[in-house]
Amino acid sequence: MSDSGNHTRHQPGSSLWPIGFAVGVACLLLGLVINWIITPIGLVLAVVFGVLWARDVSRDVRGEVPEIEPETRAVADEATESPAPVAAPEEPLPTYSRSRFLEASTVGLGAAIGALVTIPVLGFTILPSFKDVAEPDIDLGPIDNFPEGTYVIASYLSNPKVGEVSRRTAFVRNNGMTAKGPSFTILYSRCVHLGCPIQPNGPIDEQARKDVNGVELRPVLAQSFGCPCHGGLYDSEGNRRAGPPVRSLDRYTYSIKDGRLILVSLYSVANVSGTGADAQISSYSWASPGVHVDGVEAWLYPIVPSQVTGVP
């Protein structure tokens, strides 16, 4: 008679726990780059799926320990005509195979080596992007230096210790007094297409040039602004009118301290409705040139450190 039984040991199917563990590690690293809120989510996923993966790998050596029945001995003075009961053969205890041990050891050692190599590299390459990136507030001088209704080109060094490489330019217009105090429109001079410097379309009054504590001020009759690199055109409120720019010109937030105009930080603008002090501005956290900040297109661009910190 042939034995039709299948004595081949059943091998467990592939597990999804390693994939979940990898996703958790990816979320953990992504959180360090994009947003710290994602970091604990990735940590939880990595721990949960890591534990499930470890349990799956070690399931062959887990389980209930078989109970051993006490040994039965025949009484010496008892006559027995029937043969003594034969004890059932003991089932072998589950063993931890060598292949399983090597697999678990390799995975664990690889994970440890990967962490030791990856974490320092990420620290040296990513953390500097988040350190010391904020620029200090800039004092542009008394608000009397900015005539109402006229743009003034303000050129300054954001970090005098660095030198000319830190030179920035803003177009400042005094919109007059409102119920909340003086109103200003302050446009950043970088095109939101690729970051080229834009130029005011109008005559510059070089005779009225002023230097106020290192800040150069030059009045200009600007009716619009243009980018000489790729033909971007903006109106007097910074709205895109032609060319490849994807949004309106970036603007500065500002404050008034002791009658002096202080530049604070940049923010991005989708569009502007109205003019001057009555303008309605669709504002967003500062984004790099070429990045959409509203609509479906905004989801197609990766988040960069400048968008997280809100500074260029």
Instruction: Name the pTM for this structure.
Output: 0.60
DSSP 177-241: EETTEEEEEEEESB-TTT-PBPEESS-B-GGG-EEETTEEEEEE--SEEE-TTT--EEETT--EE
CA nearest 160: which of 172, 168, 148? 168
Q: What are phi and psi of 176, to 5 degrees?
A: 95, 180
pLDDT at 136: 77
Strand 199-200 to 167-178 pairing? unpaired
Boundaries of every domain in the chain: 15-60+97-131, 138-309
Q: Name the architecture of domain 138-309.
A: 3-layer Sandwich (2.102)
CA nearest 204: which of 168, 155, 240, 142? 155
Edge-to-edge strand ranges of the sheet holding 224-226: 199-200, 224-226, 233-235, 240-242
pLDDT at 198: 93
pLDDT at 175: 92
pLDDT at 121: 66
pLDDT at 312: 47
pLDDT at 173: 94
pLDDT at 127: 60
Q: How many whole angstroms separate alpha carbon 230 and alpha carbon 214?
A: 31
pLDDT at 311: 44
| Residue 22, H or E segment | helix 17-33
Averaged pLDDT, groups of 10, the chain, 312 residues long: 50 68 79 71 84 74 54 51 61 66 75 74 61 71 90 90 87 91 92 92 89 90 91 93 92 91 91 89 88 81 50 46
pLDDT at 30: 73
